[in-house]
């Protein structure tokens, strides 16, 4: 089953771990591990689910630093 992850609009403020895996070209498991360990971008935990703050991830991915970790 293939999911369509179109989050290019400005209305979408978060990524899922699955989207992060696709962007980085890594497995979903490694994406979850990265999100659990990182302080480089904001990760929101919703029970067992993760949501990654799009703006802070994109800034990290593009080599910029995130100014505040809340």
User: What pLDDT does 65 receive?
Assistant: 59
Region for 47 from its dihedrals, namely left if φ exceeds 0, alpha if ψ lies in -120 to 50, beta otherwise: left
* Domains of the chain (ranges, CATH numbers): 14-61 (1.10.10)
What Å distances lie between residue 18 and 15, 65, 68, CA to CA?
8, 23, 25
What percentage of the chain reaches a pLDDT higher than 90? Answer: 66
Long-range contacts (CB closer than 8 Å, 24 or more residues apart) made by 32-41: 39/69, 40/66, 41/66
pLDDT at 31 over 90: yes
Global confidence as pTM = 0.71
Region for 33 from its dihedrals, namely left if φ exceeds 0, alpha if ψ lies in -120 to 50, beta otherwise: alpha
Average per-residue pLDDT in the chain?
Answer: 83
pLDDT at 29 over 90: yes
């Amino acid at each position: 089953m293939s999911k369509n992850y179109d989050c290019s609009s400005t209305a979408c403020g978060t990524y899922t771990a699955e989207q992060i895996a696709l962007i980085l070209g890594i497995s979903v498991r490694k994406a979850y591990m990265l999100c659990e360990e990182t302080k480089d971008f904001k990760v929101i935990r919703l029970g067992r689910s993760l949501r990654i703050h799009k703006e802070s991830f994109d800034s990290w991915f593009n080599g910029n630093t995130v100014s505040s970790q809340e």
